[in-house]
Structure 1
């Protein structure tokens, strides 16, 4: 167990941007004392700062400090999750890499400090390790790490892994993608079966690949390739390698593959009926396994009748219909139903009961409206009949951005080059209120063309200055020519800071002040854009869909006028990503035909 050192902790906080006074107040708040048991005054911290020359430390030392603090925190945890082990491995490698850089920069440093192969290049011949290959010991160790880190509900998935068809309804962020990536890798190593990962977009499918690459590193195997070919000592060398294939739902070649398949977030893909025929075709042979898992979406989704069993009962006589109970009470522990599909429901409360301690459920209930919390975390489907935007219309706007948007690269220094982008910002109602949202979109390249959502961000707990700084930092990578901001409440301060000349070079920062008429115009414009298919976003951006569908038509308090609202814990008007997007869309005239104006102000 590492020992807490106030001096080192103060330095770490200072390097992360805290002021000396803030550090002293933080220490006082948490009862941090000196060696004699007394409080640590501001003067002492200031003396540490001057004596140890914190301001003169090189950037690499500050980075090392952050990595070391995080690594020690993870080491101190009594029960480590598989995710903790993956992160510890990554942090250790980062620290090792930085240590090499420091040796290289020091007097007498040489290329061998950066690359050990330089020191060994004249050594005797070495046997080259097999690519993507696991020894028996590595396979056993990987499986041990996997099984030791499972929560109870994940153990149920493991026990049901040989079911022909599994269909799992789950809470958000309980480690399903992580688990099934690991399960698939273990199966590929042990059986040699192909593993196919089907997601709404290629970018979303690559989340499986990222996890699998990290798992390989846990036992010293560097996994490469897409598709990824896996071999092991557990199978005869003459057997073909197992293929791990990562597909978006628009893949034209999906039907040519065969293997176990994992259909991620299947309740959120467009055209599920067609896609499921292709997916089922990939697992026609009885040796293959089919796994569907997702958070719930709308009762209008094409996959809903598959979940309830209605799809199989449609052509059966009433007396012959299968009786399938999809209630939480029936499926909490997992159940093989009469249609030979193993179903399981895992809410956030089930996950907590199963040992998952990653959530503060009370805080989440405060952050989300009751219906939103029920959908995202309690596995309840949404009825979008009263929504201003229909679920199926929204998911039809999803695309595979990694494949289709060849002019955009999120990892580049300038993701969209010097082309113009527009941005919309919906601030927090108060400094401790709801989420804030920033959306960046590429405006239509031709008249009547689509808006493409390139990035979206949600913020919470920041004051107006911190929000403004975040926006400037994100937009510095783009040529942003328009930014629409809701300038009420905290937003007024954000607007004033960003509207200053030069705050965002070349950008027209527009003040938007909500009223019933303005809100109605925004909704009307957005509905038109959605119905005409003039908005596009990566199909993995499920939060965009949820935000729009959560907006409902309702009466004002007086009962005399119609307005649009979305519930939030405590007050009205959540769906921040949707409102931020509409701030962008309103920069184009309602008909979408006139040339967009460079500036506008709605009061």
Structure 2
């Protein structure tokens, strides 16, 4: 074997880790027994008793399970399954990821046909249903969006085998009439509830309705559900999707799946279980919740709210604390609600019959989720931001330069509302002009950099529509410049504003040189107290007037703006604006990048002449 080892394929987060299976998978990919043992020791992989796994143990697994004798098809199935599950677990999927999932699903189906062919009684028709027993009568077409009893059992087995402890708790409480879950980011909630809803529809025939801040965000559920079904060879289609199974009477109506963003009004009159994703981040929560609650009026339906925390000013906050229930009652009828982490870490039913649960990142880690390096995250985020994003603590935006409720009012359903924008096209915005803003890293090992692309107002006083945003970290100035050029190549970018301090100076020089960015006015922005104050003033005006529009699922953009606070300079004589990261001032990168765009329009709302410029 060559010295260059085949890289390990790490099982996805939601698959219960089995060292024996993982060792077998590495062996089938060309690893030696000693190399596997060294890899396990390096990553602290131990047995159930917590002891290190010795080379002799792995060798015994190899002999007892006859790894060398496994047929090639079994090795292929193992590799495809691990890759498929890793892509399913990925929170934000690219178009390439979705295409690969589709391809892997077809490969799984092909290998299943080969399996049937190799079994006793297998025939050519198992490999190709167009040949084989030509004298047989016409084959009965498989039912569309239908699960057999065997497929139902296998899908549920896969699901339950991969749950973390906190997800198992959600499963155990799935029959609560109302669940409200406050969670850390990136702990697999959307994945879990998509799978839970699919299992429930298969077993009970109940409709499932998913509500999100935008259609794109709601379709993340759909993407998961379609991927899950492919694990057992079922291809789900339709929107809404109609699902049947052998577990339900044939004459019973199919279970319906609806994926809704801000077009929720179209669902009025429908009924079913509903899942309200990131409900602490949606605009017009009261109105949206009335429609959602109406969908689940009958006692057989279930309501599930889950979200990361936003601010105490959000209209959903009184629902979480119980204040809304109490303020509608006389003083004698009011009850105390304990919504502290200590009270809700294990989940609890409150006086309003709502089952509440809090899952911080440390709770997730204790429950088996090993996706995070918490120490690294604490270095990356300021303490108050870490507490909000991962510690389930609400933000008080009273000191922020931007108000949370003003920002979420700017959220929209970009896929449904913007007919002239197609993010999957080679030219997403055609030949029309776009503006871009770039906020670089403070240093090559500093905070995140951010690139934002916007469609400028089509008419005077019209909205700025944010089309794309990107964050990158750990790149030098040349790599950052190449990234910007690659992204903007898909657009007709006529203006690019760059903060030219630190690493940004190198990025600016590379992009501003003749021929680097044809037809683009590259603006060199050098911050001062006066310039920063002007940028904030301009952005506040645009946001308050509702002239900023972005997809409602861009929670990171909202957080970036809210994190900017008014403060005093070191001398104490002047006012400035900061958003600290670990003691530095370089955070809120998405917000600053957006403001680099907005400042290209003067305060009076009239577009400035296009030219290469320097702003001091």
User: Normalising TM by the smaller chain, what interval?
Assistant: 0.7 to 0.9
Aligned to 1:347: 360
Task: Select 1:588's aligned residue among 596, 601, 604.
Answer: 601
For residues 570 and 550 of structure 1, what CA distance do their matches in structure 2 show?
13
Which residues of 2 match residues 63-462 of structure 1 at below 5 A? 83=89, 93-94=103-104, 120=131, 125-462=138-475
CA 1:226–1:428: 2 relative to 1, 3 Å: same
Is this contact kept in 2: 1:202–1:246, CA < 8 A?
A: yes
CA 1:183–1:562: 2 relative to 1, 3 Å: same
1:318 CA drift (Å): 2.1
For residues 466 and 96 of structure 1, what CA distance do their matches in structure 2 show?
37
Question: Deviation string for 1:195-230 (max 9, x for gaps)?
Answer: 000000111100000000000000000011110000
CA 1:338–1:193: 2 relative to 1, 3 Å: same
| Secondary structure of 1:138's aligned partner | helix
For residues 95 and 225 of structure 1, what CA distance do their matches in structure 2 show?
18
Q: Which runs of 4+ in 1 moved over 2 A?
A: 4-10, 71-77, 79-84, 86-97, 116-127, 249-252, 593-600
1:573 CA drift (Å): 2.9
Is this contact kept in 2: 1:167–1:307, CA < 8 A?
A: yes
1:256 CA drift (Å): 1.8
1:320 CA drift (Å): 1.6
| Secondary structure of 2:386's aligned partner | helix
Is this contact kept in 2: 1:261–1:283, CA < 8 A?
A: yes
For residues 426 and 235 of structure 1, what CA distance do their matches in structure 2 show?
55
Which residues of 2 match residues 565-584 of structure 1 at below 5 A? 565-584=578-597
Aligned to 1:539: 552
Is this contact kept in 1: 2:567–2:576, CA < 8 A?
A: yes
| Secondary structure of 2:587's aligned partner | coil
| Secondary structure of 2:451's aligned partner | strand
Task: Select 2:3's aligned residue among 6, 9, 17.
Answer: 6
Is this contact kept in 1: 2:344–2:358, CA < 8 A?
A: yes
1:80 CA drift (Å): 8.7
For residues 467 and 338 of structure 2, what CA distance do their matches in structure 1 show?
41
For residues 451 and 612 of structure 2, what CA distance do their matches in structure 1 show?
19
Is this contact kept in 2: 1:334–1:343, CA < 8 A?
A: yes
Is this contact kept in 1: 2:441–2:586, CA < 8 A?
A: no
Is this contact kept in 2: 1:587–1:600, CA < 8 A?
A: no
Is this contact kept in 2: 1:587–1:596, CA < 8 A?
A: no
CA 1:75–1:399: 2 relative to 1, 3 Å: closer
1:251 CA drift (Å): 2.7
1:407 CA drift (Å): 0.3
Is this contact kept in 1: 2:215–2:416, CA < 8 A?
A: yes
Question: Deviation string for 1:325-349 (max 9, x for gaps)?
Answer: 0000000000011110000000000
Q: TM-score, normalised by structure 1?
A: 0.83
Is this contact kept in 2: 1:163–1:342, CA < 8 A?
A: yes
For residues 470 and 76 of structure 1, what CA distance do their matches in structure 2 show?
27
Is this contact kept in 1: 2:377–2:386, CA < 8 A?
A: yes
For residues 93 and 574 of structure 1, what CA distance do their matches in structure 2 show?
39
1:92 CA drift (Å): 9.8
Is this contact kept in 1: 2:105–2:230, CA < 8 A?
A: no
| Secondary structure of 1:364's aligned partner | helix
Question: Deviation string for 1:461-496 (max 9, x for gaps)?
Answer: 111111111111111111111100001000011111
Is this contact kept in 1: 2:442–2:586, CA < 8 A?
A: no
1:423 CA drift (Å): 0.4
CA 1:273–1:488: 2 relative to 1, 3 Å: same
Gaps of 5+ in 1: 11-31, 36-67, 101-115
Q: TM-score, normalised by structure 2?
A: 0.81
CA 1:449–1:244: 2 relative to 1, 3 Å: same
1:89 CA drift (Å): 12
Aligned pair count?
A: 529
Gaps of 5+ in 2: 8-30, 35-74, 111-126
Q: CA RMSD in A?
A: 3.0
CA 1:90–1:417: 2 relative to 1, 3 Å: closer
For residues 224 and 368 of structure 1, what CA distance do their matches in structure 2 show?
41
Aligned to 1:16: none
Is this contact kept in 1: 2:420–2:429, CA < 8 A?
A: yes
